[in-house]
Chain A
Amino acid sequence: MKQLNVLAKQPRGRREIVRVLPCLILLLSFCAGALAQTTNTEEGTANPSFPVTHVLGLAGTLPNTPGSLTVKAGSLRFENKKQGITLLSTVSIEAIFLSQQDKQVGGVPMTLGKAAVPFGGGRVISLFSHKKYDDIALIYRDDDGGIHGAILQLPAGQGTKLRDELVSQGARVGPQWDPANGKAAPEVSDATN
């Protein structure tokens, strides 16, 4: 009775807050739990998508085509809005080579723009207008046993992730190239190496 009296003495707005607050806390805790569960599920099953440029080699896709790449259900899937989807079985991949390239950004328009800058100012711009990319070279075989090569260009740092994804889906890494001396290093047994 005393408690009721205390509540009765408080102003009406405050009483509402006191009633709603526990419900809100309860609701928030449920939401947090649900969100955490969803995230875990996505981490467990989702296939990350890589923004790539197909430099050359994938059958049915034009060279220098930008697109997105996913690796799932034992196949590498390259998707471009105009050219559609290209699939490549990861089991057919015999070697994956990872290397880094340093390229000037902006293409032809940027080159022309730099050439137009007076007093050699374009050269100064060139000093800063370059970006590093990861190049992934894949060697795979077609149904007749013929060897094919494909090159994919990714933002720096993404190459290792894509290689790991491919290896987890059955692709072979093959002997690795050592940029220091150019000799083939022993085959990598684990993609994390």
Chain B
Amino acid sequence: MQLISKSTVALSRRLMFLGIALSVFIAHQGNASAHNGGDREWSVQVEEVNSGDINLDPAFRVAIYENLLSELGKTNKFENIYRSGDRLAASTPDMLILKINVRKFDAGSETKRAVTTVAGATKLKVQCQLETRDGRVVSDNLVEASVRFFGSNMRVTHNLAHNIAEAIKKSTLPQPTHVSQDGQTPDELSMAQVETNR
């Protein structure tokens, strides 16, 4: 009798631990899906970096663009990431357009940094806007990056891309409304189809 009762107690304990572990796991999964799932359906198209009147070396523009695409991919925030001009983006619903406008650039100098430590920092400041296809801004951030001690001037583009991706990751995006390229929601589309059928 005693043996049976001992094994029953051990089994019930194990079951209890298993139950707790399972509930913790389920809760964690639920949290994760709630955190990512809301924005997961958006896709993004990254427009070319616009330097405006700022004297920015084209190599830096190219580096920002390429690094940004790479960093955005790491966030897992978007369903698909498209480059500017990609024909596949036209048929994708729930598309956001990411626009990068350069606001400030200090070229700095790697040699100055190495010699003086305090001078020669390379700094970059941009405004990044996420817009829907109909031009509604859903996220607007001013992002800065700099190289102060070690590394080449070009490293600022990597730091900036990382900071932009972090800012976008933290921002809360609205639920997609399935707006097509001509700016119609599914309800509007179906109404239009009904009217054309008539």
Contact status A147-B59, CB under 8 Å: no
B173 near A: Cβ within 8 Å? no
Q: Which B residues are CB-close (under 8 A) to A103?
A: 110, 152
Bound-complex Cα distance A181 to B55 (A)? 6
| Partner among B66, B67, B88, B111 whose Cβ is within 8 Å of the Cβ of A144 | B88
Interface residues of chain A, those whose CB is within 8 Å of chain B, are 55-57, 95, 97, 99, 101-104, 111, 114, 122-123, 126-127, 130, 135, 137-139, 141-142, 144-151, 177, 179, 181-182
- Tell me how many residues of B have a C-beta within 8 Å of chain A: 33
The list of the 7 closest CB pairs from A to B, nearest first, reads A182-B55, A149-B62, A146-B83, A126-B114, A97-B58, A146-B86, A137-B59
Contact A182 to B152, CB < 8 A, known contacts A147-B85, A148-B83: no
B75 near A: Cβ within 8 Å? no
Q: Which of the listed residues B51, B63, B67, B109 has the most CB atoms from chain A within 10 Å of its own CB?
A: B63
| Partner among A111, A142, A144, A150 whose Cβ is within 8 Å of the Cβ of B62 | A150
CB of A54, distance to nearest CB on chain B (Å) = 12
What are 28 A-B pairs at a CB distance below 8 A?
A55-B63, A56-B63, A99-B59, A101-B59, A101-B153, A102-B110, A102-B111, A104-B114, A111-B114, A111-B150, A114-B114, A123-B115, A126-B115, A127-B111, A135-B59, A138-B62, A139-B62, A146-B82, A146-B85, A147-B48, A149-B61, A149-B63, A150-B62, A151-B154, A179-B55, A179-B57, A182-B55, A182-B56
Interface residues of chain B, those whose CB is within 8 Å of chain A, are 48, 51, 53-59, 61-63, 65-67, 82-88, 109-111, 114-117, 150, 152-154
CB of B146, distance to nearest CB on chain A (Å) = 17
Contact A151 to B62, CB < 8 A, known contacts A56-B67, A102-B109, A103-B110: yes
Q: Which A residues are CB-close (under 8 A) to B109?
A: 102
| Partner among B54, B61, B82, B110 whose Cβ is within 8 Å of the Cβ of A104 | B110
CB of A146, distance to nearest CB on chain B (Å) = 3
Q: Which A residues are CB-close (under 8 A) to B53?
A: 182
- New contact pairs (8) apart from A55-B154, A97-B62, A126-B115, CB-CB < 8 Å: A56-B66, A144-B86, A144-B87, A145-B87, A149-B66, A151-B63, A177-B58, A179-B57
Contact status A137-B110, CB under 8 Å: no
Q: Which A residues are CB-close (under 8 A) to B87?
A: 144-145
Bound-complex Cα distance A58 to B62 (A)? 12
